[in-house]
């Protein structure tokens, strides 16, 4: 069901984000994100002069290479378009994410490694969505492990319970997948 009809309005800003997950031949996974911001009007910029309608204000790439336990083995960032000439200098700092595990504490680790003036707001913002893409990409490998190993299945259950409406402890989804939740 689509959103309700909007009020009369004028488009001003567009952000396009695309993300893809890949399984590599070496058994690792690449999660790639691309962000592009454009405006519908021309405006002046300190470093670039006039940025024309539809011209990229931001154009950034991010690649996480992860293993099937969701540990980042490498991170590469690139900035093609930015409002200031200095902005691309933040990209190499994202390599510091190598060794960070996507899971509980991920946001905190990102903030420690590339937060504030160490990184780029737009690249950092993409990481939260890329973490979700990473889970979805690695899912077939992890699901196979769950089917073969009861301990892995229990760990999956523990990770998922309570993360959203579908995985509420009393949800029919939880009951169907793992059986009735134990009280307390």
Range of the domain at 184: 149-184
29 and 45 assigned to the same domain:
yes
The reported pLDDT for the residue numbered 58 is 98
Residues 63-117 have pLDDT tens digits of 999 999 999 999 999 999 999 999 999 999 999 999 999 999 999 999 999 999 9
Residue 7 lies in a domain: no
Residue 31 lies in a domain: yes
Nearest to 14 by CA among 42, 38, 41: 38
The reported pLDDT for the residue numbered 181 is 59
72 and 124 assigned to the same domain:
yes
Residue 168 lies in a domain: yes
59 and 90 assigned to the same domain:
yes
Check residues 150 and 88 and name the one with the higher pLDDT.
Answer: 88
Q: Quick one: DSSP state of residue 164?
A: S
121 and 179 assigned to the same domain:
no
State mean pLDDT over 48-56: 98
Query: Do the Cβ atoms of 155 and 148 come closer than 8 Å?
Result: no
Structure tokens, 181:
């939740």
Question: Angle at the Cα of 118 (from 28 to 83), degrees rounded to 5?
Answer: 100
């Amino acid at each position: 069901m689509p959103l309700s009809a909007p009020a009369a309005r004028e488009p001003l800003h567009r952000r396009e984000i695309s993300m893809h997950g890949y399984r590599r031949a070496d058994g690792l996974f690449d999660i790639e994100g691309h962000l592009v911001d454009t405006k519908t009007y021309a405006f002046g910029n300190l470093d670039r002069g006039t940025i024309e309608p539809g011209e990229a204000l931001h154009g950034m790439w991010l690649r996480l290479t992860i293993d099937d336990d969701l540990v980042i083995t490498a991170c590469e960032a690139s900035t093609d378009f930015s409002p200031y000439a200095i902005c691309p200098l933040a990209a190499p700092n994202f390599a510091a994410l190598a060794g960070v595990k996507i899971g509980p504490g991920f946001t905190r680790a990102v903030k420690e490694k590339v937060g504030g003036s160490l990184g780029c707001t737009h690249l950092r913002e993409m990481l939260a969505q890329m973490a979700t893409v990473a889970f979805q990409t690695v899912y077939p490998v992890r699901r196979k492990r769950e089917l073969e190993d009861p301990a892995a299945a229990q760990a999956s259950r523990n990770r998922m319970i309570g993360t959203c409406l579908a995985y509420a402890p009393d949800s029919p989804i939880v009951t169907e997948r793992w059986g009735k939740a134990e009280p307390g």
